[in-house]
Amino acid sequence: MPEKHNESTPNRPEGGRILDAPMLRINLPEYIWQIKGEVAWQNSDRNAITLLHNEFMRIVVVALKEGAEMNRLAVDGAISIHLLNGRLWVDSEPHSFSLDEGEIIALRPGINHNAYAEQDSVFLLTLAGNHAGEF
């Protein structure tokens, strides 16, 4: 399986980051530092970077400033949100609650959900399944 790389964008003109390979080692603190240092974080209430993207799984590290909301209707794949720091309010069909540092929420496919940052927050968003590439 060949490696898959990202392409350059206005926010990340260097391009060339590996998004998929037979094995991928990810330095999470480095990516958190990167997204919090970018213009998108300074000028907006959020920033994110895709760490892995293939047909089976997608992993994105997301930073939300206090008060920012990620609205997402149901998706076709299973998702998880692993809160690395901060505090999120998670609203889903079956339950609504605060998610604290270190906690993970996992949702089956088709569950409506959204997340609201009660504090500046960073989390890993993972989408798994056959529709991960479409997220």
Is the model's pLDDT at 131 over the cut of 50? yes
* pLDDT-derived band at 135, boundaries 50, 70, 90: very low
Higher-confidence residue of 7 and 45: namely 45
Q: Looking at the domain assignment, is residue 45 inside a domain? A: no
**Domains in the chain: how many in total?**
1
Q: Looking at the domain assignment, is residue 42 inside a domain? A: no
Q: Looking at the domain assignment, is residue 22 inside a domain? A: no
Q: pTM of the prediction?
A: 0.87
Q: Looking at the domain assignment, is residue 16 inside a domain? A: no
- Mean pLDDT, rounded, for 66-90: 91
How far is residue 50 CA from its own chain's centroid? Answer: 7
Q: Looking at the domain assignment, is residue 100 inside a domain? A: yes
How far is residue 27 CA from its own chain's centroid? Answer: 15
Which domain CATH number covers 106?
2.60.120.10
* Among 103, 45, 106, CA closest to 70: 45
Query: Domain residues for 130?
Result: 50-135
**Cβ partners under 8 Å of residue 25, min gap 6:** none
Q: Looking at the domain assignment, is residue 116 inside a domain? A: yes
Q: Looking at the domain assignment, is residue 38 inside a domain? A: no
